[in-house]
Chains A and B, each alone.
Chain A
């Protein structure tokens, strides 16, 4: 009998302990897909958050595999009520997520509770998290592609302007002329391009389509009207660079970065997330003087493809979120946005306007140089088929690779892509 009493006491004690900790500190389960350079920075931000909310909110973070594995896991776990309390999400994947019903709406009350409003974001960014007039995520950043360049090589070839930017950023002809001049100056690859990875090249090609006001999807139909022609134009100019030996052929992602950092390629079109790579190498004295600017205007006007890392609340099936928990999650998302200046060191452009407007951000280089492109951003078409690691990527990628490397004519590629897209 005494043993049973002791046991009961123990149980009671444990239960009350659990209850009291649960009451005092809200545990927020967090999933992200951020590994590598930006993952390190996010971990820092999470520990800063936990330190600032000691005893109130604690983030319990897990990093999962980027891309399809992450999104498949989110979908399956939401279906059995085991999804986290908050997670990172690509804005481009929101249409599919809404169709699958795995995201909770961020209501007007939520925005009010966070102290954030529509006006704090660029309109394209706000639009990217909106589906049928409702918001499904809180944008953390936008991560466009930019043009990296080797100042040392360009200076030697006399191709730098007075303010230290490459010459010929204003038109297709002038930019090609710059590339040719670099070739004549003995540079092996004037432009390092991820020509072996059609998934990546989607960003560049979509930007070039945007520069001609081209649309991939109009009212649910693919490449209608002269949009096919605009895609062909974009492919043709890129193919021309390959044929003239102005850009590296069959180069995959890591190889492109290596070509640039080793000085074999004078310029490179890549995501802003490579900024920390350059900053770190430069700090250790292993890199030349470098810069990053908005993509050159090849066609009519500036336009750059961007995606956005956002925070979203999964819709756990048959499981309601307590008001306390929801408040804690909102606090997490709002704090991260408002403290995203540190996130900018990962290269991404913070989505929260007051951060990019701050003097500290304006002093950051090259971030503040390229952040002007925020006005010219275009996002993926709003379709469940779009988004990173989605089916549109695969269709286009399969035709981009042969075209960019001169195996397939641009016109033929457009036909292939149209057929492929309609097959989906």
Chain B
């Protein structure tokens, strides 16, 4: 039968049209609009006049933007790689278990992931609250001075990073576990016949074979953590918001508190570019290092 290429193309177009339309409406159009707004002095709602690169140039001397940038970088540093390693090691441990026990332990580690962020906030606030937190009573018993974790800048980001790892590790563990199960048992069998030790087996078989998964988890985590907002917002309510500010929080402050849509858009564009650059860089790096392992 002859195929009518033209009608096939039309058919294909008709089939993807809904997606294109929705994608254009809720992603492409707002993104273009965001770039346009960032060159104006628009309020949160409505139009503004064109101000050129003003919104961008003033970021250079903006102290709060500086704080936000460094806090975000610090948070990414403390959460992405440690979070991935923690998830990997837990997955290795869970993988050694079998049957019901494995499901049970896996469920325990996965449980925090299903919690909404507000619940996570409440749980940890009850644990670490300076006056009534359970952990503080433990500190008292051990004779350690109480620490105002969420009110001290030195502790804030590390604590939020720790909580984020606790909260989101479950998903990464699942990915790692799926990867570990996909490694054929014969390879390990062959290795043990060759008298390979545990470390050698891990370093020569598990780690290289798991690398694509590790790279995937790293990339997902990186993009996710660059966009951190909820935890920081909740844990700093009423405390020291301007010392704990991160990039998305700063966008929120400019847009919704100060009613400066243009300046908020400029920060959002900067974040957008950072995410693109960092994730491309991350992808290239992980590809390169995989080449070395071969």
Query: Which positions in A face B, CB cutoff 8 Å?
Result: 68, 72, 75-76, 79, 96, 99-100, 194, 196-200, 248-253, 255, 258-259, 384-385, 389-391, 394-395, 397-398, 401-402, 405, 407, 419-420, 423-424
Contact = CB atoms under 8 A, between A and B. Distances in A.
B243 A250 contact: no
Contacts of B63: 419-420, 423
Nearest to B153: A402
B192 to A, nearest CB: 55
Contacts of A199: 237-238
Given A196-B130, A251-B130, A405-B148, A96 B259 contact: yes
Interface of B: 43-46, 62-64, 129-132, 148, 151-152, 237-243, 253, 256-259
Nearest to A258: B132
Contacts of B239: 196-198, 252, 397, 401
B96 to A, nearest CB: 43
Contacts of A75: 44-45, 259
A174 B43 CA distance: 49
B264 to A, nearest CB: 12
Contacts of A394: 241-242, 253, 257
A253 B238 contact: yes
B135 to A, nearest CB: 14
Most buried by B among A96, A198, A259, A385: A198
A255 B131 CA distance: 7
A391 B253 CA distance: 8
B130 A398 contact: no
Nearest to A385: B258
Contacts of A401: 151, 239-240
A120 B243 CA distance: 44
Given A405-B151, A423-B62, A100 B43 contact: yes
Given A419-B63, A424-B258, A407 B131 contact: no
Contact of B131 (A72, A96, A251): A251
Contacts of B256: 68, 72
A251 B45 CA distance: 37
Contacts of B237: 199
A198 B129 contact: no
A338 B43 CA distance: 37
B258 A250 contact: no
Interface of B is mostly: loop
Contact of B259 (A100, A249, A250): A100
Contacts of A252: 129-131, 238-239
A181 B240 CA distance: 32
Contacts of B243: 398
A412 to B, nearest CB: 14
17 contacts: A68-B256, A79-B46, A96-B259, A100-B44, A196-B130, A196-B239, A198-B238, A198-B240, A250-B151, A251-B130, A252-B130, A252-B238, A255-B130, A255-B131, A391-B258, A397-B242, A398-B243
B64 A423 contact: yes
A255 B237 CA distance: 14
A316 to B, nearest CB: 13
A397 B132 CA distance: 22
Contacts of A197: 238-239
A389 B252 CA distance: 12
B128 to A, nearest CB: 11
A251 B241 CA distance: 16
A289 B253 CA distance: 43
A250 B131 contact: yes
A77 B132 CA distance: 40
A390 B242 CA distance: 12
A405 B131 CA distance: 13
Nearest to A400: B240
B130 A250 contact: yes
Smallest CB-CB A-B distances: 9 pairs: A197-B238, A398-B242, A250-B148, A250-B130, A255-B131, A79-B45, A398-B240, A199-B238, A394-B241
B68 to A, nearest CB: 12
Contacts of A424: 258
Contacts of B43: 100
Contacts of B132: 255, 258
Contacts of B152: 407
B240 A397 contact: yes
Contacts of B253: 391, 394
A419 B67 CA distance: 14
Given A250-B151, A391-B257, 7 more contacts: A75-B45, A76-B44, A196-B148, A198-B239, A385-B258, A397-B239, A405-B151
B123 to A, nearest CB: 15
A266 to B, nearest CB: 16
Contacts of B44: 72, 75-76, 100
A37 to B, nearest CB: 19
A76 B45 contact: yes
Nearest to B244: A398
A196 B258 contact: no
A424 B258 CA distance: 8
Most chain B CB atoms below 10 A, which of A251, A253, A384, A391: A391
